[in-house]
Amino acid sequence: MTGADETGADEAGRPPRVAVLWTRLSGYFHASLKALADRGVDVLVVHQQGEADAPFDLAAVTGGIRAEQWTDRLDPAVLDRLLDEHDPDAILVSSWNVGTYRRAARARRGRTVRLFGMDNQWWSTPKQWAGVATSRRNLRPTYDGAFVCGDRQADFAARLGFPAERLVWGMAVGDHGKFAAVARARGDALPPPAFLYVGRLVPEKGIDVLAAAYQRYRARVEDPWSLVIAGRGAEEARLAGADGVKLLGFVQPDDLPAVFADAGCLVLPSRFEPWAVVVHEAAAAGLPVICTRVSGASTRLVLDGYNGVAITDGDVDALTRALLRIHRATDDERRAMGAASEALALQYSPEQWAARLMARIPEIRELVGLAPTPWLP
């Protein structure tokens, strides 16, 4: 077995290779991919074109990474050629819903480790039970393990037949260093009195609940905080022109830390939220967080009464009370919540993302009977 140098390359100069087959990229995911490349990993990313509600600058989500974009349909022959040329030690696939990705992963059984990303929570729906029933035939021959966001995703993965030894944890993480700099710059000063929402303005995010609860909150206090909205979408009309609301539109990833620096609490009223990386970003920035319990990140990053408030989704009264709790907190209580958020945020970072993935690939290769990677020390 050959030894590895500090970059991870073997004595013959071959670096570790990871192919990432994704749907739509984001700024936070780019930070993780960049951390992987910074470890000396040869990264290939194949990804779907972005969507109108989240018009990321392409350089912000692919800069420094070899990336191949597709639009309406990905040609299987093109994907096969890219993967054959790259010859990856592992393939990381966004999920199991892109047929061309599934076929490519299945075709490489016994040749490379195949991991699927998993932000889906277990909700015991008929569709999920059907997936469990067919997993032995459809999913397990296609993938060797799963890269899960957190506890609820790990539960679902176990039901699908993937034991703990084949899981990598922490799939969706924010750019911790970038947002932690906000907290460091603030020091002991209190953050500004403003609530912040970051995300698409679509029904599943509970924008109607946010609009109604914020107005009820304003009616119950003499000195209401403003509500800053970073995002765009069909629900924008519910907020446009409302007292105290400031609409920023879509904010590019590099500009987001400045937006967090001008806020005192993140609010995420989603009805459906598999994980919510924005919660990690807010926690890293030292902000209290209000979010619904449907958010997957709430299990790890929002502890009610410690660094924020976790509420029932779709409940205007519950969100109104949560806004009031943060508003009425003393200065010391707000500082304590901010410090608690910073501590919880330390669980995740792009660097830890890359390290966990590269540590688990050799272990999973061994579990599925593949030859050891040449870049192992």
> Using CA atoms, how far apart are residues 321 and 326, in angstroms rounded to an integer?
9
Q: What are the distances in angstroms from CA 345 to CA 124, 215, 227, 352?
A: 29, 30, 23, 12
Q: What are the distances in angstroms from CA 188 to CA 151, 191, 285, 334, 345?
A: 33, 9, 13, 11, 18
Quote the pLDDT of residue 257.
97
Topology classification of domain 17-173+349-367: Rossmann fold (3.40.50)
Which residues make up the CATH 3.40.50.2000 domain(s) of the chain? 17-173+349-367, 176-345
CA atoms in the 13 A half-sphere facing the CB of 84: 7
**Strand order in 265-268's β-sheet?**
245-249, 226-230, 194-198, 265-268, 289-292, 308-311
pLDDT tens sequence across 341-372: 999 999 999 999 999 999 999 999 999 999 88
> Using CA atoms, how far apart are residues 89 and 283, in angstroms rounded to an integer?
34
pLDDT tens sequence across 186-244: 999 999 999 999 999 999 999 999 999 999 999 999 999 999 999 999 999 999 999 99
Q: What's the pLDDT band for 3 if we cut at 50, 70, 90?
A: very low
Quote the pLDDT of residue 197.
98
The pLDDT of residue 13 is above 70: no
Residues pairing with 249 in the sheet: 230
The pLDDT of residue 327 is above 80: yes
Quote the pLDDT of residue 2.
31
Which CATH number applies to 176-345? 3.40.50.2000
pLDDT tens sequence across 151-188: 999 999 999 999 999 999 999 999 999 999 999 999 99
The pLDDT of residue 80 is above 60: yes
The pLDDT of residue 252 is above 50: yes
